[in-house]
Amino acid sequence: MSEAVRYIDTTLRDLASPPWGSAIATEDLAQAAAAIAPCAPSLMEAMDSGCAAAALEVRSESPWDRLRAVVREVGSVPVGIVTVGNNGWGHHPLADDVIRRFISGAADCGISRVRAVDPLNNADVLSVTARAAGDAGLRFVPTLILGPAPAPSDGLWVKEALALAALPGAEAICISDKAGHFESSALSALVSAVREQSGLPVELQVQAPGGLAPLLAVAAVEAGAGAVQSSAGSVALVAARPATESLRAALVSSPRALDTPRQAIYKAAREIAPMLPADRLRQAATAVYGSSVGLSPDLEAALVWRLSRYGLSDRLVDAVMETAEICREVGGVTLSHPIADAIVAQAANHVIGGQRWQEIEPALAHVALGNSGRLRCDVDPGVLEAANASDLEPQDAPKDLAAIAAEAAAGISEEDQLLVAQFGDAADGLIRRRQSIGSESLEAPAGVGVDRELIETMVDVVEGSGNSEVTVEIAGARVTVRRTGDSAPAEAAAAARGGAPADDALVAVTSPIVGTFYRASSPEAGPFVSEGSRVEVGDVLCLVEAMKLFNEIVAETAGTVREICMENEQPVEFGQVLFRIEP
């Protein structure tokens, strides 16, 4: 076997995923896509459920707009997305016709491939997505999610892989280990068995703590994996994933080298590295190279957040071991969206409360009772008792396209209706943003049209820069996009947000995300800073919590804190002034 190994780039997904991706805007993703394109990946995965949720819930940006921005920059490089079960990207199950429209909408954005996952590895759940991808002319790859249960040697893994490989239109089977659940020998054996018995190429997605991801990737390649997912430089560190440049170097003397040009990947890594804020890179390095725990970085951060609220962050390893035990007891569920958050919450509750299964997360109760699909293993009796005793709300049947359209607010597009169907109230910020910004074409000559992509780009500029309006003139047509209701003086707007009129001598510290403002690390701790405090560059000023994750806001200017513009636990918007510092 001497063919080159295909390289699938996941930099965009890792760059924009929570908790580290809250500062990444649509234009940053487009810039990163342009940097990666010369590396000639066989595919660029640009969007998954975490990225979509972060775009909507933290930045009030549309995942559809992000996809289009990426596709515009990559030239001939194919772009792919990842969907989950029958949820698409979102939190809520979708009706079959909504799934089909969602997939066709993604195709309209210019993507080439859909990779689908299900937290129970249930091929039947993915059948609608598989057929929808074929109908839309898209490539389709189902994914086998590895987890703590059953044991790696159990024949269930290969059985599930073969069922997934039999889905209509499957061109390959992806094996995904997002926390190093399988050691290299077990992973190699599984890759070899799936490849030989399914007759399909095997693609590998691996994330692992302690820098083990490249070693596992190399082992899988030696066992016959035909494609490996990797990211550029420091982004790979954040995601605990193999770095493309490191993986290429590890395979350079192998008969199966990574198929990508050396200089291009180093150049891309250098260009993309500054997009990661230093504090987020530091937090990621601590998570990845700290205690070797069997969780992906985003779930580890979520677990640390829950424990730290009770001063129990030193119990992280115990809590991680508890997540694995919960997976075993709840029918062999994997640590994958949308169930992973509930597993993490349940594990934290067990550690914090010192008792097991006194209560159960609703999502896990539904799984244990078989409401979320067929179970992979037996459910522990204690879990069943807790599930049967829980006061579960009945699950509503998914709404079809007609019902979604009938309930939609007037004037919103079908794309946005699909986002509301998947994310519910979390899409409200985007809808309000769309409605709050008006656009107009001034003095346009007859026959000159206004390109929608131009309008969308201008809207992003206005929203991201804080300017009241932007005007562009092309071929005699002048197009203006302005913020509505922006006629009030800047001082009044600042005061309305809780800050005093701006002083030119003071440096404003603004929130990079939508979330909740916290002055201290826990309810018992003192505030990070007070008015009059002296701060240095890099000092933590506050925390902004978004999507159950804390983001440190640090001083970028040394000086004295003259004003704290927010109250503790107050909601904050993107770009809102939090502090004013006198240099």
| Domains of the chain, start order | 6-286 (3.20.20.70), 294-389 (1.10.472), 401-483 (no CATH), 491-582 (2.40.50.100)
User: Span 437-460, mean pLDDT?
Assistant: 49
Tokens in use for 328? 């075993």
> Coil, strand or helix: which one is 178?
coil
Q: How far from 156 is each of 84, 121, 142, 195, 198, CA to CA, in Å? A: 21, 10, 16, 15, 14
The closest of 121, 294, 138, 133 to 216, measured between CA atoms, is 294
Stated pTM of the model: 0.78
Tokens in use for 546? 């978004």
What is the tens place of the pLDDT at every residue in 64-78? 999 999 999 999 999
pLDDT of residue 501: 46
Of 19-33, 113-127, 133-147, 383-397, give the lowest mean pLDDT range: 19-33
Question: What's the pLDDT band for 477 if we cut at 50, 70, 90?
Answer: very low
| Phi, psi for residue 311 in degrees, rounded to 5 | 65, 30
Give the burial class of 485: count Cβ atoms within 10 A of its Cβ; 0-12 exposed, 13-18 middle, 19 or more buried.
Answer: exposed
Instruction: Count Cβ atoms below 10 Å from residue 226 Cβ, excluding itself.
Output: 21
What is the tens place of the pLDDT at every residue in 285-329? 665 544 456 788 778 878 887 888 788 888 888 998 999 999 999
